[in-house]
Amino acid sequence: MTNGWEATPYVELSREQWSGLRRNTPLTLTEDELKGLRGVDDPIDLAEVTDIYLPLTRLLNLHFTGGRQRGAAVSTFLGTGAGPAPYVLGIAGSVAVGKSTTARLLHTLLARWPEHPRVDLITTDSFLYPNAVLAARDITHRKGFPESYDRRALVRFVADVKAGRPEVTAPVYSHLEYDIVPGATQTVRRPDILIVEGLNVLQPAPPAALAVNDYFDFSIYVDAKVEHVRNWYLDRFHKLRRTAFEDPRSYFRHLAELSDHEATEFARNVWRDINERNLVENIAPTRGRADLVLHKGADHSVRRVGLRRI
Ligand SMILES: Nc1ncnc2c1ncn2[C@@H]1O[C@H](COP(=O)(O)OP(=O)(O)O)[C@@H](O)[C@H]1O
Ligand SMILES: CC(C)(COP(=O)(O)O)[C@@H](O)C(=O)NCCC(=O)O
């Protein structure tokens, strides 16, 4: 642990230093529950939950409690007596880095703390433009890039939740159908914590506008070397070929029938032309805006944690 007067705003902790900060936070998750939360091809185990995620929930619980006190001070000052605003947690990182597992785990673990039992999770794919709109704008090959999202609708959604609106609805994206599901919605009802997970949640706002991260109380960036994420993407792609892609409703149904070699070629091209480009041009440059960075090694486990102290 370093705590001198370096220019970096982060204090960097080794896995061992970080796991020691769990203190007496209890493990409230079973192996079976963890199985239901891990993503395709994510080898996360209970040791990772104990060493990485329990200290993280302890930190978030402390931060949540501090935020509530600050919120109460403002409403006492104003004499409004308004109830507490939902605490908003952003989770960013590349395609295939494992953000969804991090988000689902935090969703479950945070809800087991008595101070914040109501936790909701939204992924920003809900705010992708439908494929028909992407095609009309000639940006089909840019899915996941900032311009492929209805950013105003996303900001409005989070602003409404933060403002305490009783019911806020969002569209639903299906990975299976690779598109927004027509007419489907999900509703968030005044949670204690809202988790907002997505590739671009740390993107700065355009001039004179607000970004979704202006509403974040805390943000996490899930980080790994590009070559590791590429391998995870390719491995997952092959696993999906033998599972989700065989579903007759899958947009990628035809890929289940390609040879291994042809499928690898296809996945390599999608990775290189879309996901890696988006990572390098748009996502990785936002890492330094996160309050906490989880640095993963080649085997997916978190090796180091950077925590912003200023
Ligand atoms: N084509 C697909 N079909 C079905 N599920 C998918 C597909 N692509 C990704 N997923 C799943 O969707 C979730 C989000 O994936 P992604 O956006 O790559 O983020 P991350 O890997 O960081 O969680 C993961 O649980 C992943 O396994
Ligand atoms: C749906 C995604 C854009 C991720 O969305 P997010 O919830 O992170 O906003 C991504 O998983 C995706 O499908 N990208 C397109 C390229 C590809 O098929 O890999």
Cα-to-centroid distance, 128 and ligand 1 (Å):
14
26-46: average pLDDT: 92
Give residue 7's pLDDT: 79
Q: Please give the CATH architecture assigned to the domain spanning 10-308.
A: 3-Layer(aba) Sandwich (3.40)
ipTM score of the complex? 0.92
Cα-to-centroid distance, 125 and ligand 2 (Å):
7
Give residue-wise pLDDT tens across range 121-138. Answer: 999 999 999 999 999 999
Burial of 237 (0-12, 13-18, 19+ CB in 10 A): buried
- Choosing from 175, 231, 271, 296 the residue with most ligand 1 atoms within 8 A of its CB, the one to mutate for a pocket test is 175
Atom of ligand 1 nearest to the CA of 251: 1
Q: Strand pairing of 302-308 and 87-93?
A: unpaired
Indicate whether 21 pLDDT > 60.
Answer: yes
- On whether 100 is known to bind a ligand per the annotation, the reply is yes
Task: Give whichever of 33-42, 82-91, 169-178 has the largest mean pLDDT.
Answer: 169-178
Give residue 14's pLDDT: 98
Average pLDDT, the chain: 95
Cα-to-centroid distance, 1 and ligand 2 (Å):
35
How far apart are the C-alpha atoms of 91 and 218, rounded to whole Å?
9
Per the structure block, which two tokens stand in for 164?
């305490």
How far apart are the C-alpha atoms of 173 and 240, rounded to whole Å?
18
How far apart are the C-alpha atoms of 23 and 56, rounded to whole Å?
11
Residue 256 — very low, low, confident or very high, per pLDDT cuts 50/70/90? confident
Give residue 82's pLDDT: 77
77-97: average pLDDT: 93
Residue minimizing CA distance to atom 2 of ligand 1: 175
Q: Which helix (H) or strand (E) holds 88?
A: strand 87-93
How far apart are the C-alpha atoms of 11 and 309, rounded to whole Å?
7
